[in-house]
Structure formats: structure tokens, C-alpha cells
């Protein structure tokens, strides 16, 4: 399975970012950040900052530290520097130490963050987020069942 974001997907996401910037530029007065599901899975960074954000279900969520980056993403993931990062509505930061898990007997891979497990519905969505297949931890089904279920992770929309 491919572990990189396809060129077409990357181009689509960059076009979506440009559209968000254009929309903000044409608005009257202050622009209110909005969810941006069309760029789900993109890792964003303000060029003048070390902070990295994951667009998760339309919201810009801080990846809090290097350990969390290493727990979740491919080695050397594509991080898009963007001065318009503030146009994407901010969501809750990922939990420090967030992990990818799968339980014995359940084929669904989950992102566990902020006290919930979020199902990843397909290998395509997994790859869109640049998650690392080698970082999935196997847990007992009884442990998985104990973790509250959060929203399903959505891929990029058009």
C-alpha cells in the first residue's frame, strides 16, 4: 500500500487552500475561520512557526509534540507551509501521545485522541492523513470496547 499522499490529492488540497484564501480576501470586514473538510488530512504549518496542525474533520488541530508526530505519521510527512492557516477553524489539539490502534477481532483502525477512538474508514483515508501503517498498536478487544467512540475520520471532500 502507498504511504504517500498522491500528487493529485496534494494539488487538490493546495487548490482548496487557495480558494479559502481567495474567499477571505473577498469578504467584507473580518473573516471568521471556517471548517475546511476539503483539506482533511493536510498537515499545515505557519512558515514562521514550528507548530504543526492536522486538518481533522475540517478543523485545524495542533499536533502537540514530536512524540505524537512520530506515533501517527509517516517518516518525513509532507507539511504544507501556509500563511493562511488561520482561515481554517481551530479544533481541539490532539492529545500528547495520541496513537493508532486496532483490536484483535476488529478490522477497524482507530486514532485514539482526546479520550475517544475515531474510526478510520478506509486505507485511502488512512493514507490521505499520512498515517504510518507501521505505527498501529494492537490492543485487546475488551480495551477497545472500553474507549468511547468519537466521530469517524473523514477524508478530503470536494
Closest by CA to 126, choosing from 102, 96, 91, 97, is 102
- Coil, strand or helix: which one is 37? helix
pTM: 0.83
Query: Tens digits of per-residue pLDDT, 36-48?
Result: 999 999 999 999 9
CA–CA dist 67, 113 (Å, integer): 14
Nine cell digits for residue 24? 477571505
Q: Which residues of the chain have pLDDT under 50?
A: 1-8
- Coil, strand or helix: which one is 73? strand
- The percentage of the chain sitting over the pLDDT mark of 90, rounded to a whole number, equals 75
Show me where the domains of the chain are located.
7-87, 99-146
Nine cell digits for residue 52? 504543526
Instruction: Write down the pLDDT at residue 2.
Output: 36
Amino acid at each position: 500500500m502507498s504511504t504517500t499522499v498522491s500528487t493529485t490529492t496534494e494539488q487538490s488540497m493546495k487548490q482548496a487552500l487557495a480558494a479559502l484564501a481567495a474567499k477571505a480576501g473577498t469578504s467584507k470586514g473580518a473573516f471568521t475561520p471556517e471548517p475546511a473538510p476539503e483539506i482533511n488530512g493536510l498537515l499545515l504549518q505557519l512558515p514562521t512557526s514550528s507548530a504543526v496542525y492536522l486538518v481533522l474533520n475540517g478543523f485545524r488541530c495542533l499536533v502537540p509534540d514530536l512524540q505524537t508526530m512520530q506515533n501517527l505519521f509517516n517518516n518525513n510527512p509532507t507539511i504544507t507551509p501556509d500563511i493562511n492557516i488561520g482561515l481554517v477553524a481551530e479544533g481541539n489539539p490532539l492529545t500528547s501521545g495520541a496513537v493508532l490502534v486496532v483490536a484483535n477481532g476488529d478490522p477497524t483502525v482507530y486514532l485514539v485522541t482526546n479520550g475517544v477512538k475515531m474510526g478510520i474508514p478506509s486505507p485511502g483515508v488512512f493514507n490521505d492523513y499520512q498515517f504510518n501503517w507501521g505505527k498501529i498498536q494492537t490492543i485487546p478487544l475488551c480495551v477497545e470496547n472500553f474507549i468511547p467512540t468519537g466521530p469517524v475520520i473523514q477524508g478530503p471532500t470536494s
